[in-house]
Structure 1
Amino acid sequence: MPAVTNISCYRFARMDGLKSLRERLLAFCKERALKGTILLAPEGINLFVAGAAPAIEELLAELRALPGLEDLAPKYSASDEQPFSRMLVRLKKEIIAFGVEGIDPATYTSPRLEARELKKWLDEGRPVVLFDTRNDYEVKLGTFKNAIPAGIDHFRHFPEAVAKLPAELKDAPMVTFCTGGIRCEKAAPFMEQAGFRNVYQLEGGILKYFEEVGADHYDGECFVFDQRVGVDPGLRETGSAVCFACQAPLTVEEQSDPRYIGHVSCPHCFRSDEDKMAERIEARHAALRQVTVPLPGSQPYENRRPIRIPGELDGKTILEVLEILFAHISRDEWLAHLEAGHILDPRDAPATPDASVRAGEQWTRVMPGVVEPAVNADVAVLHEDEAILILDKPAPLPMHPSGRFNRNTLVHFLHAAWHPEKPRPAHRLDANTSGLVVCARTRHFAKLLQPQFSRGEVEKLYLAKVHGHPAEDRFTLDASISDEPVALGAREIDDAGQAALTEVTVVRRDDDGTALLEVRPLTGRTNQIRIHLWHAGHPIVGDPVYLPDGGRGDTQTLSPEDPPMCLHAWKLRFTHPRSGERVEFDAGPPTWSIPG
């Protein structure tokens, strides 16, 4: 014989003194080892309680002694184990949350239809519309044949579901039903208010129907709000469970599905790694749009740039330091900055030209009213895991603050969109170069990732569109490149510079006099691909610095309206800093590389 008796019931009745009643009922139930939930509200009582049969009857006697609850008639069922973990008595505004004014089951309810009468109607094939007022996850376990589900995830949304019903149903016989009848006490009168003229409510709900009629005209089982999850038409506990993650009820068959992982997922909420990645990327793109529209550097702001004093300049004046560190700016300009109070000492006080500096100090350059040039902010996230972030960087977009750019930079965008994280790019691309950028998500992974670039262990493949047709299909460029920049930060071919090696393969030679190349830089010098191809007589189309015929341009960073510089970081292959496996990423070819 089952050891536990389960009861469920409700009653709409005027109730007061609820706080003291709550304390009394809680103590009463705990003394008798009863467990479950009792909801008390000014409109009535709703309860689900389980325990030993004598204790259950004592509780019913206690409740029936309250005004308005004299004829409290619960539904009984039995279970081998206690379905509840504790005893709760809660005070609520409503015993069934609905939130619609003017619905008062204590004074009016729609006509009630007994279970046996409904079965008779269905047996006779009478035209009747069965309307399931329960939530979608409850309907999933079972419902009456041909019933119309409300299609809601909370009873508060029931009015919206009624508004969607076809107008022709307003004259049809409508029978609302739910688990135990309580929702229909409000649902059916609401439907009458909405203009439905022939509404009934199933007395006692599905559980009472099971008790009196059984399974006739019903498919499946009934969801119940305790650890049993579901009961069959014999009111016996079924093998159904509830997903820990999404709370969806699960049949025995669904629990055998490989997507059901205890405390993790079920067939209804399971997401593949690809799905999870797509969701993360969509969220990241939304965050990037939020921090880049409008561009953060498009509105005037005060930009403060640090000036760190190197050891060899110890004891010099700040004016001398500025002239040495920033040789491209004239002495007169620095004097004007100092006079305007735009150079601050380590205490944030305006500096005089003859103020002495000390090695290791940090001074500050204040740049008021800064408005940065526009950039292309259409950053695409291609991959994200716990260790790395793979981006397709648009152009023009500087990666780091420099020159005229501070906020309109990739790093600023990332720090704003990933806050409080600060993704760290593991390498650099020119502002005018598009394509793959690898970032580490933490300092730990940066220490494992960045050295791969400096040691030349990362395989890099670029696409470049160049002026002229190279004579050979495959060739290698090995001219050394200077360490020190010249105008516009450019570098030069210099035999005394750093060794540089670039492998080139011609993909095609086009009729317009340009050629598409696959380029593999085997070393990582600044501007290496651009300089090598320029020096070989095949400068990159759109390069604003390294021009055809050996010329030099006067623009460092293009504007978004300019024709693009046709250099694209296409593919990367490196060792993943967490798994230790070689991984490869592909940004796809840019539009300028596609024929036609």
Structure 2
Amino acid sequence: MSQVTNIAGYQFTPLAELKPLREGLLRQCKEWGLRGTILLSTEGINLFVAGDDAGVEGLVAELRSWPGLGEFTPKVSYSDAQPFRRMLVRIKREIIAFGVPGIDPATRTSPKLAAQELKQWLDEGRPVTLLDTRNDYEVRIGTFRGAKTLGIDHFREFPAAVAELPAELKRQPIVMFCTGGIRCEKAGPYMEREGFEQIFQLDGGILKYFEECGGEHYDGECFVFDQRVGVDASLAESENAQCYRCLAPLTLADQQDPRYVPERSCPYCFLTVAEQLDRTIAEREAAIARATTPLPGSEPYDNYRPLSISAKYDGARLLDMLCGVFPHLAREYWEERFASGLIVDDARRPAAAERVVRAGERYLNRMPAMSEPAVNADIRVLYEDAAIVVIGKPAPLPLHPSGRFNRNTLQSILNEVYHPQKLRPVHRLDANTTGAVVLARTREFARQLQAQFAAGGVQKRYVARIQGVPAADEFVCDAPIGEATTDLGARAVDEQGQAALTTFRVLRRLEDRTTLVEATPVTGRTNQIRVHLWHLGWPIVGEQAYLPAGRLGETQTHEVDDAPLCLHAREIAFVHPLSGERVRFECALPAWADDFISAPGSARG
């Protein structure tokens, strides 16, 4: 089998008209049967290419015909197989990403030290610091004996690493090196700019040193950016592999490690299930922070609220339907909206009040230049897998779009973060209540979980701080709960209402005559725990809707700066829709409860 010729090289020189250069070069390289990567930038060229001798010679001749590249001389090595999968020619901002303005190697770079001269220095034992500018994973398979490494994962981290070097190095001779020299072209001038007085670059990098001096003073191999992974001092391909996931070079011993699974993991990137979840959660919470800074509903926008026609109103006039569905809004309110052209059809054309509607049709209520109230967006991800996401919801934060809230809701924020997937909440949690919320990742998973709620198979535990001191350590409320009794949607006990059952257990009686209780709703009516405690005469601390002495307030959703409603969904347990096993999730207590429950002597008394 004939050997494959590999060339690697770079040159800093001004280049213009990059797009036609790229197109012509890519076409020619394919004609020559070459594979690899060529980077073009206004600052020069960087390449790693392999093929037969004729093709490589054709490429070098072409490049030398370009202005500024007449002396272009790449390094040459050989391999038994083609190390690249395809041919790429790309236009980049920099041919080696550094991100520091004002560094121009085409104009000036640091003094270069020939490979033979460095070897002589090392043979003589001259005092010099060898500085490896490469990434940590490259250093892992080899470097110069005694070299100082920087522990970086990307060349962009080099400036920060230089800032951590001892001050005394600024007056001492430093020879920096990398694979082929390109990184040192920028690293050298940068260090000089930072006050280092005696900076030298190893001319041609490690590969040139191997070519001229062999492996003396060097331990291991040199990482290369192709399928060979590493080359030894004779520039022969090593037996190292490379992790598909994290790109770490892998020795034979690494490849025998049980954590090495080709194309999946290696000893350096392997994560346990718990570690993978921790990483995923950190990434999700960072995405949530980006999506809520600023709050998505803080800027005015036109919001279109859907108005779906049910079978009950088939054949009715549109105005009559709206008055029937929203009895708490005056007929004049809707007449004014029709007159202003704010009730529109699905194509967003103004609809007439007298229009006869049909079941299944959809209309929209346009809310122009709407900006939403602020909410607490400190959303925590407690768990996620292929079926479910469990969230620690802050307050105030509505769960669904409704009323004054659309974009500033948990569901809208998570839809942005998990796009294109749309998460489906499988149960309710009031805007003012904190704690665990379960969302399904598909409609089918939502159906399975909601069936468990309907059958009473889901267990939920809440912690509440109530006004008053119950005498009994455990008590029950089974008062039925009726439909909304106010424009704001507040409920009340109604003998003709739906059956409702909540059990309570005292956790701690406090000196201010409030009490921490654990609440377990057996049924799932809207506002059930709040209504039952209000009915018993112990409304929750921070309530603005269900007030002492049986009064109802006029506030539905709290303002961000209001005192919190002291109701927290602490725990939820259900059968997982994929595994079939019962799972339990707990959301950490807020300060108003944790300060007492976690303290010594927190038992009920």
The alignment's TM-score, normalised by the length of structure 2, stands at 0.77
Counterpart residue number, 1:441: 441
Counterpart residue number, 1:84: 83
Q: Deviations over 1:101-143 (max 9, x none)?
A: 46489xx99565453x644543432223334454544332212
Matches within 5 A, 1:464-479: 464-479=464-479
Alpha carbons 2:372, 2:404 under 8 Å: kept: yes
Matches within 5 A, 1:476-555: 476-483=476-483, 485-486=485-486, 488-555=488-555
Counterpart residue number, 2:18: none
Residues 144/467 of structure 1: CA separation in 2 closer, same or farther (3 Å cut): same
Alpha-carbon separation, structure 2, partners of 1:20 and 1:374: 52
Counterpart residue number, 1:590: 590
Specify the SS of the correspondent of 1:505.
Answer: strand
Cα offset for 1:399?
Answer: 1.9
Matches within 5 A, 1:52-451: 81-82=80-81, 84=83, 101=104, 103=106, 110=111, 112-113=113-114, 115=116, 118-149=118-149, 172-179=172-179, 206-207=206-207, 209-210=209-210, 215-233=215-233, 237-344=237-344, 350=350, 354-451=354-451
Specify the SS of the correspondent of 1:414.
Answer: helix
Moved more, 566-575 or 461-470: 461-470
Q: Deviations over 1:195-243 (max 9, x none)?
A: 8776666576545655676544322222245543334446554332211
Moved more, 241-250 or 367-376: 367-376
Specify the SS of the correspondent of 2:390.
Answer: strand
Q: Which amino acid aligns with 2:289?
A: R
Moved more, 84-93 or 234-243: 84-93
Alpha carbons 2:473, 2:506 under 8 Å: kept: yes
Cα offset for 1:402?
Answer: 3.0
Residues 213/586 of structure 1: CA separation in 2 closer, same or farther (3 Å cut): same
Counterpart residue number, 2:569: 569
Alpha-carbon separation, structure 2, partners of 1:357 and 1:20: 59
Alpha-carbon separation, structure 2, partners of 1:308 and 1:28: 61
Q: Deviations over 1:221-267 (max 9, x none)?
A: 22245543334446554332211122222222322333322112223
Alpha carbons 1:475, 1:504 under 8 Å: kept: yes
Cα offset for 1:185?
Answer: 8.2
Alpha carbons 2:483, 2:491 under 8 Å: kept: yes
Alpha carbons 1:22, 1:89 under 8 Å: kept: no
Cα offset for 1:569?
Answer: 0.9
Specify the SS of the correspondent of 1:130.
Answer: strand
Cα offset for 1:545?
Answer: 2.8
Alpha-carbon separation, structure 2, partners of 1:8 and 1:449: 59
Alpha-carbon separation, structure 1, partners of 2:125 and 2:28: 46
Residues 124/381 of structure 1: CA separation in 2 closer, same or farther (3 Å cut): same
Alpha carbons 1:103, 1:186 under 8 Å: kept: no
Alpha carbons 1:50, 1:82 under 8 Å: kept: no
Counterpart residue number, 2:603: none
Alpha carbons 1:12, 1:45 under 8 Å: kept: yes
Q: Which amino acid aligns with 1:573?
A: A
Alpha-carbon separation, structure 1, partners of 2:354 and 2:74: 95
Alpha-carbon separation, structure 2, partners of 1:408 and 1:93: 39
Alpha carbons 1:25, 1:89 under 8 Å: kept: no
Alpha carbons 2:292, 2:377 under 8 Å: kept: yes
Specify the SS of the correspondent of 2:494.
Answer: coil
Alpha-carbon separation, structure 1, partners of 2:524 and 2:542: 22
Alpha-carbon separation, structure 1, partners of 2:23 and 2:396: 71
Cα offset for 1:462?
Answer: 0.6
Alpha-carbon separation, structure 1, partners of 2:352 and 2:91: 71
Alpha-carbon separation, structure 2, partners of 1:323 and 1:504: 40
Specify the SS of the correspondent of 1:447.
Answer: helix
Q: Which amino acid aligns with 1:555?
A: T
Alpha-carbon separation, structure 2, partners of 1:73 and 1:431: 65
Q: Which amino acid aligns with 1:84?
A: P
Counterpart residue number, 2:559: 559
Cα offset for 1:461?
Answer: 0.4
Q: Deviations over 1:142-171 (max 9, x none)?
A: 122222347666779889988887776566
Alpha-carbon separation, structure 2, partners of 1:374 and 1:109: 55
Alpha carbons 1:177, 1:205 under 8 Å: kept: yes
Specify the SS of the correspondent of 2:488.
Answer: helix
Alpha-carbon separation, structure 2, partners of 1:540 and 1:578: 37
Specify the SS of the correspondent of 1:453.
Answer: helix
Cα offset for 1:433?
Answer: 1.7
Specify the SS of the correspondent of 1:488.
Answer: coil
Q: Which amino acid aligns with 2:451?
A: P
Q: Deviations over 1:297-353 (max 9, x none)?
A: 444444433333443444444444333322222344444444444444677565565
Alpha carbons 2:434, 2:569 under 8 Å: kept: yes
Alpha-carbon separation, structure 1, partners of 2:254 and 2:104: 40
Residues 254/330 of structure 1: CA separation in 2 closer, same or farther (3 Å cut): same
Alpha-carbon separation, structure 1, partners of 2:159 and 2:311: 75
Counterpart residue number, 1:453: 453
Cα offset for 1:375?
Answer: 3.1
Alpha-carbon separation, structure 2, partners of 1:550 and 1:571: 29
Alpha carbons 1:11, 1:69 under 8 Å: kept: no
Q: Which amino acid aligns with 1:122?
A: L
Specify the SS of the correspondent of 2:413.
Answer: helix
Alpha carbons 1:6, 1:50 under 8 Å: kept: yes
Moved more, 557-566 or 131-140: 131-140
Q: Which amino acid aligns with 2:413?
A: F
Cα offset for 1:438?
Answer: 0.8
Cα offset for 1:11?
Answer: 10
Q: Which amino acid aligns with 2:536?
A: A
Unpaired stretches in structure 2, ≥5 consecutive residues: 16-20, 600-605
Residues 525/147 of structure 1: CA separation in 2 closer, same or farther (3 Å cut): same
Radius of gyration: which is bigger?
Answer: 1
Residues 133/25 of structure 1: CA separation in 2 closer, same or farther (3 Å cut): farther
Alpha-carbon separation, structure 1, partners of 2:304 and 2:149: 62
Cα offset for 1:571?
Answer: 0.1
Alpha-carbon separation, structure 2, partners of 1:276 and 1:561: 36
Alpha-carbon separation, structure 2, partners of 1:298 and 1:92: 39
Alpha carbons 2:396, 2:431 under 8 Å: kept: yes
Specify the SS of the correspondent of 1:489.
Answer: coil
Cα offset for 1:277?
Answer: 2.9
How many residue pairs were aligned?
Answer: 580
Specify the SS of the correspondent of 1:504.
Answer: strand
Question: Over aligned residues, Cα RMSD in angstroms?
Answer: 4.8
Residues 86/69 of structure 1: CA separation in 2 closer, same or farther (3 Å cut): farther
Residues 476/142 of structure 1: CA separation in 2 closer, same or farther (3 Å cut): same
Residues 532/82 of structure 1: CA separation in 2 closer, same or farther (3 Å cut): same
Alpha-carbon separation, structure 1, partners of 2:45 and 2:301: 61
Alpha-carbon separation, structure 2, partners of 1:70 and 1:592: 73
Alpha-carbon separation, structure 2, partners of 1:143 and 1:413: 48
The alignment's TM-score, normalised by the length of structure 1, stands at 0.78
Q: Which amino acid aligns with 2:83?
A: F
Q: Which amino acid aligns with 1:546?
A: Y
Q: Deviations over 1:2-48 (max 9, x none)?
A: 9748676879899x9x9999899969976xxx988899999999887
Residues 144/477 of structure 1: CA separation in 2 closer, same or farther (3 Å cut): same
Q: Which amino acid aligns with 1:587?
A: C
Q: Deviations over 1:357-401 (max 9, x none)?
A: 444443443444544444333322222222211112222222223
